Amino acid sequence: MVDGSVGGTQVILRPMTLSDLEKVEALDRDSFLTPWPQDAFRYELTRNPHSICWVAELTTPGLEPILVGSIVVWLVVDEAHVATLAVSDAFRRRGVARQLLAQALALAYESGARQALLEVRESNRAAQALYTRFGFEAVGNRREYYHDTHEDAILMTLAEMSPEKLAALLSDESN
């Protein structure tokens, strides 16, 4: 578990559990035009030993924690593939995605990953800016990758993961 703060509220990063699935699936539906199929997150948690699944919760004393983000990263030999990263619309641009990505990539590094890749919508400039901050670079396009809109995806890679940089990004209090 990793703690951080966002606007006076505590952000807790922790491994995703089966009890999170309903909220994670709802977040996915709210975040993407084409959400993952039903039970995809269950598969990642229970059947894919090469999957890193984490969530971000906002906690306020005396109130029920609110699940505001999730990430799934696949480990493929020495590579981390960011499969999905979602943050609730109301909590975007507050560092939650940065913290989730830094944590998941740090765990991937500990498991042997030395580089990372992901696909991002061509129109998603905010996500591209986040990934660039981590050192990801655009290396190509996947034509009509997104079936819902036929939008291209930009393929981005992080050629060399640095545990020190990931730790700094995880603890960074700025947005």
pLDDT 10s digits, 16-54: 999 999 999 999 999 998 899 989 999 999 999 999 999
Q: Is 11 helix (H, G, I), strand (E, B) or coil?
A: strand
CB contact at 8 A, 173 and 152: no
pLDDT of residue 174: 42
pLDDT of residue 5: 53
What CATH number is given to the structural domain containing 18? Answer: 3.40.630.30
pLDDT of residue 4: 57
Number of structural domains (the chain) is 1
Q: Which residue stretches of the chain have pLDDT < 50?
A: 173-175
Q: Which two tokens stand for residue 112?
A: 């042997």
How many of the other CB atoms lie within 10 Å of CB of 14?
15
pLDDT of residue 102: 97
- 55: closest CA among 40, 45, 76, 70? 70
Q: Which two tokens stand for residue 162?
A: 């640095």
CB contact at 8 A, 156 and 142: no
State which H helix or E strand residue 165 sits in. helix 163-171
Beta bridge pairs of residue 138: 156
Task: Write down the pTM of the prediction.
Answer: 0.91
Residue 131 CA, distance from chain mean position: 10
CB contact at 8 A, 118 and 104: no
Query: Which range of residues forms the domain containing residue 71?
Result: 2-171
CB contact at 8 A, 161 and 115: yes
pLDDT of residue 167: 92
